[in-house]
Amino acid sequence: MGGNKTELYVPNHVGIIMDGNGRWAKKRGLPRYVGHTYGAQTFKNITRYISKRGVGILTLYAFSTENWKRPPEEVNAIMKIFRQYLVDSLTDFRDDDIKVVFIGDRSVFDPKMIDLINETEEVAKNRKGMLLNIAMNYGGRDEIVRAVKLICNDVRDGKITPDDITDNFIKSKLYTGSEPDPDLIIRTGGEHRLSNFLLYQSAYSEFYSTETLWPDFKAEDFDKAIEEFNRRSRRFGGV
């Protein structure tokens, strides 16, 4: 496989739905939150590998707006891991030149967490390497509702007319702004659904599902997804 890597087209924007942490822990007789700890290490390893493969943008689905419904002990564990990640990320990915941005509604987090998020973005803002979008308290429908409200405000304030509302204008109001749409969305854990991830942006994204649970996802699993992506014929509604 290694000899073919340079021959394969590497997509510019990849999204990953990191699924299976809880099931990974349950299979081992461990509390669900332990799986998130192992998943966090996979997150770091895979991010670095994908950056080295030449991907321009990586969007990782870390915590959805619906994940608050999970058991409190699991949510608390995830928030603790997230906070530690923010502390670590002030130096993490520095040598990799990875720019870190958080997408989603950050207003629900406590002030200290918000300060850490802002500081993490500030420290990384001038990096020139891969853009890493981390989706925290993110939901595709919530993102679209937010965009509609912003557009309505612009119309109300006389900044635009309804005729000014185009596909590109709507995109500019999304969390991902002017970023190109994802070429490939990978979901671990064997499920075959988007689960409210990048709903507007993924209209023509290729979807790849693997049975591998997220803590077990390795570089070779990503390579398999890229190989499958290269076998697809992307027609974007054409013939």
**CA distance linking residue 80 with residue 77, whole number of Å:** 5
Considering the candidates 12, 67, 196, 223, report the single residue annotated as catalytic. Answer: 67
Q: Is 19 a catalytic residue?
A: yes
Q: Is 4 a catalytic residue?
A: no
Contact call for residues 40 and 89 (beta carbons, < 8 A): no
Which residue spans within 90-205 are E strands per DSSP? 99-103, 131-138, 184-187
Q: Single out the residue of 126, 127, 118 nearest to residue 95, CA to CA.
A: 127
Supply the residues annotated as catalytic: 19, 67
